Amino acid sequence: MNSCCSLADLGYGTVFISLQDLEVRKVEFSQQFAPGTLDLVGDLRQSGSLKTQGQAELLSEHRGGKNVVKDIRVRGDFSTEIEIRCARCIEPVPTRIGGDFDLLYRPLGVDAGHDERSISEAETEIGYYSGEGIQLEDVLREQVLLALPLRTVCSESCRGLCPGCGKNLNTEACTCGEQPPDPRWAVLADIKNKLK
């Protein structure tokens, strides 16, 4: 008897969830992606490997007559490590994130005329696919971005960057706070003293 689906069977690399496969059966995935696989926005970097497992299936939505919409439901979980910039000193902070997802993808354009936007806003779990299926990495990239904390600091005691010279005050000292007083004020102070 085959021992199926233990974590040792983790696959590596890209996964395309195709309609063709889904027509036949559910597609189960149990994958690991190397660091840097996800193409993230801005300064974000996938610094740890990403593990995910779950399944995809086809749901037929009967919309009257012969109008059947083929939705792809993708469920699963993921975990990875992302480097996020500290909000104060902009040093990269490795941050573990993960979560569950349960998503429905409709063919792009199928809701046209039904106001695609209002549907996706009311039910945020609905997305759209085009072509012959969905790239699993695209699903994961979106889930990673949604799971990111709103604000990250390297430590609660982070001293940030000096607004004067831009030095990282956690690692460098600067003299911006110790400038000699403006000489014009010294003159005024002198006059004031003489008036006393």
Stretch that binds Zn ion, among 53-61, 80-88, 107-115, 188-196 (CB under 5 A): 80-88
How many residues of this chain interact with Zn ion, rule: CB under 5 A?
10
Nearest-CA neighbor of 5 among 54, 74, 59?
54
Site for Zn ion in 135-154 (CB under 5 A): 154
Beta bridge partners of 178: none
Nearest-CA neighbor of 83 among 73, 97, 71?
97
Complex with Zn ion: residue 127 or 160, whichever CB lies closer: 160
- Residues 22, 38, 89, 140: which binds Zn ion (CB under 5 A)? 89
Site for Zn ion in 165-184 (CB under 5 A): 165, 174, 176
CB of 173 to Zn ion, least distance (A): 9
Does residue 86 bind Zn ion (CB under 5 A)? Answer: yes
- Residue 47 · residue 94 · CB < 8 Å: yes
Does residue 162 bind Zn ion (CB under 5 A)? Answer: yes
Torsion angles phi and psi, residue 147, rounded to 5: -85, -10
- Return the exposure string of 128-139: e unless at least 16 CB atoms fall within 10 Å of the residue's CB, then b: bbeeebbebbbb
Which residues make up the interface to Zn ion (CB under 5 A)? 86, 88-89, 154, 158, 162, 164-165, 174, 176
